[in-house]
């Protein structure tokens, strides 16, 4: 067996290690969430999974059964700490342990200039994209500490967590806040061998991006804009010649950070951005 084959087998073994972890999900980006689950399931064991829609939950449950894994599913508003805690506690009780947290819930909306942003819009964005991330990690950390095995926490931020964009100040502020949460959790939990990192996607080909509101927002000059009209604009954000990445590109990054392949990586802001950081 050559060295490359040994390394590949070792990496596969690390990813198959028995682990369990929840993945709270929001109301948008369903394609990315499904790909997280599809990439995640062959590698790790069991998952309590708060979900976004009954259909998404049913699809996720079917995926789990196909991989001969167990799952605890529930519908919960991630802004509600008590409800979220109840789901996570129940999942850990039924599955026996918690090793990985993926805080992936989020929404995206266009706004106005920051000084003109509606207060209700601002508060909703902070509640969903920032406070719910803190609450998700807060519910899981006691179980990670009790397990005494370390763990991995992955937070979904955005390129808007690394850069500023006009007319999206409420979103930029929330996603920058996620980076602050990540760094603080990383410092506080590191002595317990718990790693905390952020993934920063650029445009992703999910309903969060590919919807009529986005098309019209970027191409108000057209009567019936569609994906083909949006693509050239999105491509201008990137160094690589693509308009957006695919959901599995984000899932691959999440899986890497959840696995032992990244066992000494913590406090990192990992862009999956087709070079957007360079522009």
Which residues participate in catalysis according to the annotation?
171
* Closest C-alpha among 76, 70, 72 to residue 91: 72
Q: Are strands 194-201 and 269-272 parallel, antiparallel or unpaired?
A: parallel
- How far is residue 93 from each of residues 70, 80, 113, measured CA to CA in Å? 13, 20, 46
Q: Which residues are CB-contacts of 108 (< 8 A; sequence separation ≥ 6)?
A: 28, 171, 208, 209
CA distance 162 to 253: 17
Q: How many CB atoms lie within 10 A of CB 83?
A: 17
Q: Which residues are CB-contacts of 68 (< 8 A; sequence separation ≥ 6)?
A: none
């Amino acid at each position: 067996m050559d060295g490359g084959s040994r390394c590949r087998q070792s990496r596969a073994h690390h990813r198959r290690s028995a682990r369990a972890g929840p993945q709270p999900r929001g109301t948008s980006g369903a394609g990315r969430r499904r790909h997280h689950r599809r990439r995640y399931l062959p590698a790790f064991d069991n998952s309590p999974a708060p979900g976004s829609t009954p259909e998404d939950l049913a699809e996720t449950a079917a995926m789990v059964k196909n991989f001969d894994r167990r799952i605890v599913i529930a519908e919960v508003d991630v802004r509600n700490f008590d409800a979220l805690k109840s789901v996570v506690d129940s999942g850990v009780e039924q599955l026996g342990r918690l090793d990985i947290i993926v805080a992936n819930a989020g929404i995206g909306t266009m706004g106005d200039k920051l000084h003109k942003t509606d207060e209700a819009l601002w508060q909703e964005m902070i509640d969903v994209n920032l406070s719910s991330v803190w609450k998700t990690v807060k519910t899981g950390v006691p179980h990670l500490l009790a397990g005494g095995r370390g763990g991995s926490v992955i937070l979904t931020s955005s390129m808007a967590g690394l850069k500023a964009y006009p007319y999206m100040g409420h979103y930029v502020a929330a996603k920058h806040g996620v980076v602050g949460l990540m760094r603080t959790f990383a410092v506080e939990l590191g002595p317990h061998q718990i790693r905390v990192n952020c993934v920063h996607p650029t445009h992703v080909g999910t309903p969060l991006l590919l919807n009529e509101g986005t098309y019209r927002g970027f191409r108000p000059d057209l009567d019936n804009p569609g994906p083909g009209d949006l693509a050239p604009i999105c491509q201008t954000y990137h160094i690589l010649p693509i308009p957006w990445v695919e959901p599995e590109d984000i899932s691959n990054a999440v899986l890497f950070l959840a696995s032992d392949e990244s066992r000494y990586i913590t406090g990192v802001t990992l862009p999956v951005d087709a070079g957007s950081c360079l522009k």
